[in-house]
Amino acid sequence: VDVESAEEMLIAVQRSVADADIFIAAAAVSDYRCGEVARQKIKKTSETLTLALSRAPDVLAVVSRTPSPPFLVGFAAETENVERNALAKLTGKNLDMIAANQVGDGLAFDRDDNVLTVYWRDGKRELSLASKTALAQQLIEIIAERYRARGITSSTTKSAHAR
């Protein structure tokens, strides 16, 4: 999907999510956006410049509020309180599952390996240090397992599974 903003991503997702059985939101486009876009170049008139930011649309939260949403998987990259923040996002956005990890201080970014904890309403699974490719494969297996556990098969209609 070729988009340049969270607003464009939301529109693209809304066009296609009705046909999805599983929606994996690997990352937010951005949490904030510039509140006001300058129409012209901003000249250097002072030593400091303050930009006002406003919240960008939360694509995953919007999808979770749709009638008969697909099986929803979110991600939480956290600098602190990983489990608490991940569980808050899981329940707050009414997700089926969330994959969480600690970031910062040499963790997660600019590395080929990582650790991951996957949470759902009544359980969790910790994935130990592995390549990101291996973790992705394990995560897909867990998603498939939990999706089946929810009782959805490809032959049933989404409307029968409204929350």
Domain annotation covers residue 157: no
- In the DSSP assignment, the letter for residue 154 is T
Over range 144-159, report the average pLDDT.
68
Q: Using one digit for the tens of pLDDT, what is the confidence trace for 89-106? A: 999 999 999 999 988 776
Contact in structure between 125 and 117 (CB atoms under 8 Å)? yes
Is 34 part of any domain? no
Q: pLDDT tens digits, residue range 28-59?
A: 778 898 888 889 998 988 899 888 999 999 99
Residue 89 domain-assigned?
yes
**Structural domain total, the chain:** 1
pLDDT at 155 over 50: no
Predicted pLDDT of residue 107? 59
Q: Residue 134 belongs to a domain with what CATH number?
A: 3.40.50.10300
User: How many angstroms separate the first and last alpha carbons of the chain?
Assistant: 28
Domain residues for the domain of 18 are 6-29+52-151
Instruction: Tell me, yes or no, whether 37 lies in a domain.
Output: no
Instruction: Return the percentage of the chain with pLDDT > 90, whole number.
Output: 60
Q: Tell me if 19 is assigned to some domain.
A: yes
Is residue 44 a part of any domain in this protein?
Answer: no
Residue 30's pLDDT is: 84
